Amino acid sequence: MHLIRRREPHLAVRSSEGLTTVELYGELDLVLVQRVRPELDDLTREAAAFTVDLRSLAFCDASGLGLLVRCAQRVRGRGAAWRLVCDQPMILRLIRLAGLDDVLRPEPSAPEPGDGAPTGAARPPAPRVGRPGRLRV
């Protein structure tokens, strides 16, 4: 798998054998969403399996979640495998509070290519973060 650095410094793409992995850096807010959406739209049209890695993100807002949902729907809508990798507690909490666990299905780490890890709809829901019913700010 090789890393393809894009003109956008907040986005890196790895691609190999139909698997495309997009790594996002910085803060996924309205400004960054507007900058990376065209590239993500292009990438979601091509890959047989599409992974978005958020482990290097410092922040994500509602517009960022909207972009992730858009990517997930586009990828699954054409029958490709979707994976979201996130180990950031605040971002995982935002996904849970927005009720998007079942749509985005975040995982704490990305499996290595060819390890036989399940993809697509067969994966179990992501673990819950924090205590239900309590919002800590």
Nearest to 108 by CA among 125, 81, 84: 84
111-117 LR contacts (CB < 8 Å, sep 24+)? 113/1, 113/16, 113/17, 113/19
From residue 137, alpha-carbon distances to 84, 93, 130, 133, 134 in Å are 24, 11, 12, 13, 10
- In this prediction, residue 86 carries a pLDDT of 97
pLDDT along the chain (137 residues), means of 10: 59 90 95 94 92 96 97 96 96 97 91 46 35 40
Quick check: helix, strand or coil at residue 49?
A: strand
- In this prediction, residue 120 carries a pLDDT of 38
- In this prediction, residue 41 carries a pLDDT of 94
- In this prediction, residue 92 carries a pLDDT of 97
pTM (two decimals)? 0.76
